[in-house]
């Protein structure tokens, strides 16, 4: 087994190194950046994308890597949600970005390019958490942010002295970050390319969340004036702040909202529900253009929330807080998770009733998923409750662990039941009518009607989810947790 300390100092000195040195001597240096998509979301050659354009805003990951790439490289980006990869391409180097669910696909792509002697460098959530696993398939891994390490990785590659691991300082300043290369994506493929990031990390420590582990509990901002300058230069009315919790630093958020007001944008983001109990902050957000928020409610049980260290949420305030957001004109998308330790089979209908009664417009309803790298993963693995480490199933559409108070089958079918009922034609019509009455057509059409229909269409393609049953992985008994060619999550870095 490889130790990380050895990997860091190990020089890249094999056939691929030779090939890359040869390539480097050519005049044109081509970098192909690939964002992998899980099987159920990947566009097939000659077909339309599976995920509706209304749901497609751009992830900043590779746009940021491209922004940090020295100008003598010619960069292109393939996003597998919208464009199939040309595996016969012969770039000088490939950069792969992947989350856990995309890891097996990333390794398949890496194998193809490396077999032609093209070096493959990896970064993003999954390689950061499981660098040793990623290094079994790729030539080098960037742990954490790209900006401090990426130029050095390319430089070392050119010199034929690529190391195996590059670890970025998790406290590096976010001041003066290179701008994301939005120009590299086709605007027709996305609802908007205006994804913007103001901060990295979150000071809370919810045990199921990858963010805290990825940023090693650091929380950093970009200077407000840099964010505002970036937004000023963007065309189009809509902005998506991809921050994980836009309002967690109240002072910063108020400054940002004050500056945003004159830019006349409509924006969507993620925030903790406590914003609803802070009239000044909520008013400033709405006046600055806030039209919709994703709020992680997770569970209707305080006991569950306590056990996963999400203590700042109070279930008794949920209904009233959502009502306050609605009255302020904000569309609410709720994050709902089933399978926490206190959840038994009765949890599903109780939660569905709450979602309908509170008139929440959209909901991401998923089985609890212990992502490698998180404290939750380590705990469930220690308790022998992981059912599979085939990362394809870590896509929030599959049950991958043995819950405490129900069977995995009950968790899966209960979650599917709530999703299907929440997005039934009847439920969508009711929500749309209620919204039309108090918001009018303009504010209802996109965030309520179109997004609900897009979600419904997504559910209708569920049979395209990779089948655990066909792969013999369908909820084996907890005692027989299995390892796959991809997974060796004992080495999660936290
Ligand atoms: C936007 C987003 C999406 C979009 C992506 C749109 C698209 N076209 O790809 C959508 C909605 C489709 C999506 C889907 C999913 N997502 Co998502 N998503 C995000 C979100 C909110 C922002 C991503 C982003 O732009 N970040 C900003 C950039 C700058 O940061 P970054 O991605 O970390 O990139 C930096 C470094 O990681 C590094 N880096 C990244 N890639 C590379 C590559 C190289 C070569 C190098 C050197 C460095 C490098 O450098 C970058 C710049 O510093 C993140 C949360 C977050 N804060 O990142 C969740 C997040 C990444 N998603 C997550 C999840 C769980 C999912 C889904 C499984 C959920 C689902 N079922 O819908 C799917 C999986 C899809 C997949 N491909 O595997 C989890 C990942 C957990 C994990 N361990 O895998 C996150 C962390 C959310 C969370 N709080 O848990 N997602
Ligand atoms: S508040 Fe949200 S972003 Fe912050 S740690 Fe908890 S789940 Fe993650």
Task: Provide DSSP, 208-231.
Answer: T-HHHHHTTT--EE--HHHHHHHH
The CATH number that applies at residue 432 is: 3.80.30.20
pLDDT for the residue 377: 98
Residues 6+ apart with CB under 8 A from 335: 294, 295, 296, 297, 298, 363, 364, 366
| 292 and 371 part of one domain | yes
| 468 and 414 part of one domain | yes
In a domain, 479, yes or no: no
Pairing state between β 195-196 and 238-241: parallel
- Distance between CA atoms of 184 and 194, rounded to whole angstroms? 13
Ligand 2 centre to CA of 172 (Å) is 21
In a domain, 258, yes or no: yes
Please list the pLDDT of the chain residue by residue as tens digits (494 residues): 333 333 433 434 444 555 555 556 556 899 999 999 877 788 888 888 877 777 777 789 999 999 999 999 999 999 998 999 999 999 999 999 999 999 999 999 999 999 999 999 999 999 999 999 999 999 999 999 999 999 999 999 999 999 999 999 999 999 999 999 999 999 888 888 999 999 999 999 999 999 999 998 899 999 999 999 999 999 999 999 999 999 999 999 999 999 999 999 999 999 999 999 999 999 999 999 999 999 999 999 999 999 999 999 899 999 999 999 999 999 999 999 999 999 999 999 999 999 999 999 999 999 999 999 999 999 999 999 999 999 999 999 999 999 999 999 999 999 999 999 999 999 999 999 999 988 888 888 888 998 899 888 878 877 667 777 666 555 544 444 444 434 443 333 32
Nearest Cα neighbor of 418 from 353, 465, 466, 464 is 353
Does the C-beta of 202 come closer than 6 Å to ligand 1?
Answer: no
Does the C-beta of 244 come closer than 6 Å to ligand 2?
Answer: yes
Mutate to test the pocket of ligand 2, among 201, 212, 336 (most ligand atoms within 8 A of CB): 212
Nearest atom within ligand 1 for CA of residue 128: 37
- Name the domain count of the chain: 2
Decide: 387 and 481 in contact? Cβ < 8 Å: yes
Residue ending a domain, among 151, 167, 183, is 167
pLDDT for the residue 20: 55
Residue showing tokens 């001041």: 175
- Distance between CA atoms of 169 and 147, rounded to whole angstroms? 10
| 415 and 294 part of one domain | yes
| 152 and 222 part of one domain | no
Mutate to test the pocket of ligand 1, among 33, 50, 64 (most ligand atoms within 8 A of CB): 64
pTM of the model: 0.91
pLDDT for the residue 246: 97
| 149 and 229 part of one domain | no
Using DSSP, state whether 270 is helix, strand or coil: strand
Mutate to test the pocket of ligand 1, among 61, 68, 179 (most ligand atoms within 8 A of CB): 61
Does the C-beta of 245 come closer than 6 Å to ligand 2?
Answer: yes
Ligand 1 centre to CA of 99 (Å) is 6
| 322 and 459 part of one domain | yes
| 414 and 339 part of one domain | yes
Mutate to test the pocket of ligand 2, among 199, 200, 203, 206 (most ligand atoms within 8 A of CB): 206
In a domain, 484, yes or no: no
Helix pair 224-232, 250-260: axis angle to 10 deg: 30
| 255 and 147 part of one domain | no
In a domain, 179, yes or no: no
The CATH number that applies at residue 65 is: 3.40.50.280
In a domain, 347, yes or no: yes
pLDDT for the residue 440: 87
Q: Whose CA is nearest to atom 1 of ligand 2?
A: 204
pLDDT for the residue 491: 34
- Distance between CA atoms of 47 and 431, rounded to whole angstroms? 32
Phi, psi of 81 (to 5 degrees): -70, -30
In a domain, 66, yes or no: yes
Ligand 2 centre to CA of 205 (Å) is 6
| 159 and 211 part of one domain | no
Does the C-beta of 243 come closer than 6 Å to ligand 2?
Answer: no
| 55 and 148 part of one domain | yes
| 206 and 133 part of one domain | no
| 151 and 220 part of one domain | no
Residue ending a domain, among 129, 149, 167, is 167
Residue ending a domain, among 167, 184, 207, is 167
Task: Name the residue range of residue 18's domain.
Answer: 2-167
The alpha carbon of 437 is separated from its chain's Cα centroid by a whole number of angstroms, namely 34
Q: Whose CA is nearest to atom 68 of ligand 1?
A: 395
Q: Give whole-number Cα distances, 221 to 174, 179, 198, 273, 337, in Å.
A: 6, 15, 6, 20, 28
Ligand 2 centre to CA of 445 (Å) is 30
Q: Give whole-number Cα distances, 468 to 103, 209, 316, in Å.
A: 17, 24, 37
In a domain, 390, yes or no: yes
Does the C-beta of 202 come closer than 6 Å to ligand 2?
Answer: yes
pLDDT for the residue 437: 87
Nearest Cα neighbor of 398 from 336, 468, 463 is 468
The CA-CA-CA angle for residues 420, 421, 427, to 5°, reads 120
- Distance between CA atoms of 276 and 312, rounded to whole angstroms? 13
Does the C-beta of 212 come closer than 6 Å to ligand 2?
Answer: yes
Phi, psi of 44 (to 5 degrees): -95, 150
In a domain, 132, yes or no: yes
Does the C-beta of 242 come closer than 6 Å to ligand 2?
Answer: no
From the CA of 140, which ligand is nearest?
1
């Amino acid at each position: 087994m490889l130790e990380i300390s050895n990997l860091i100092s190990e020089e890249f000195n094999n056939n691929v190194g030779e090939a890359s040195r040869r390539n480097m001597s050519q005049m044109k240096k081509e970098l192909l950046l690939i964002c992998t998509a899980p099987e159920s979301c990947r566009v097939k050659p000659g077909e339309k994308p599976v995920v509706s354009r209304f749901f497609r805003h751009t992830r900043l990951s590779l746009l940021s890597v491209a922004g940090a790439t020295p100008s003598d490289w010619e960069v292109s980006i393939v996003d597998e949600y919208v464009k199939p990869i040309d595996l016969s391409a012969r770039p000088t180097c490939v950069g792969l970005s992947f989350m856990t669910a995309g890891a097996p696909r990333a390794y398949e792509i890496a194998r193809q390019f490396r077999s032609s002697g093209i070096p493959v460098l990896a970064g993003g959530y999954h390689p950061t958490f499981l660098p040793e696993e990623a290094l079994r398939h790729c030539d080098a891994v960037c742990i954490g942010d790209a900006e401090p390490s990426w130029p050095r990785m390319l430089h070392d590659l050119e010199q034929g002295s690529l190391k195996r691991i590059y670890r970025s300082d998790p406290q590096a300043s976010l001041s003066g970050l290179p701008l994301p290369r939005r120009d590299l994506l086709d605007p027709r493929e996305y609802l908007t390319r205006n994804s913007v990031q103001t901060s990295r990390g979150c000071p809370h420590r919810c045990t199921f969340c990858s963010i805290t582990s990825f940023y090693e509990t650091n929380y950093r901002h970009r200077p407000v004036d840099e964010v505002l300058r970036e937004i000023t230069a963007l065309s189009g009315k809509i902005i998506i702040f991809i921050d994980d919790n836009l309002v967690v630093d109240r002072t910063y958020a108020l400054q940002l909202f004050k500056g945003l007001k004159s830019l006349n944008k409509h924006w969507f983001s993620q925030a903790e529900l406590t914003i609803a109990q802070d009239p000044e902050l909520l008013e400033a957000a709405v006046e600055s253009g806030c039209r919709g928020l994703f709020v992680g409610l997770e569970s209707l049980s305080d006991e569950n929330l306590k056990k996963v260290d999400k203590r700042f949420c109070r279930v008794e305030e949920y209904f009233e807080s959502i009502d306050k957001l609605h009255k302020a004109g904000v569309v609410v998308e709720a994050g709902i998770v089933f399978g926490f330790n206190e959840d038994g089979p009765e949890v599903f209908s109780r939660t569905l009733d709450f979602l309908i009664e509170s008139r929440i417009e959209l909901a991401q309803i998923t089985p609890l998923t212990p992502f490698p790298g998180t404290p939750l993963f380590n705990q469930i693995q220690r308790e022998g409750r992981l059912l599979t480490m085939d990362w394809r199933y870590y896509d929030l559409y599959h049950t991958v662990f043995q819950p405490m108070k129900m069977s995995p089958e009950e968790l899966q079918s209960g979650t599917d039941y709530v999703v299907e009922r929440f997005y039934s034609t009847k439920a969508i019509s009711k929500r749309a009518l209620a919204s039309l009455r108090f918001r009018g057509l303009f504010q209802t059409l996109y965030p309520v009607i179109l997004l609900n229909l897009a979600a419904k269409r997504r559910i209708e393609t569920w049979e395209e989810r990779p089948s655990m049953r066909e792969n013999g992985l369908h909820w084996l008994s907890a005692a027989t947790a299995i390892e796959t060619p991809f997974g060796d999550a004992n080495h999660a870095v936290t």
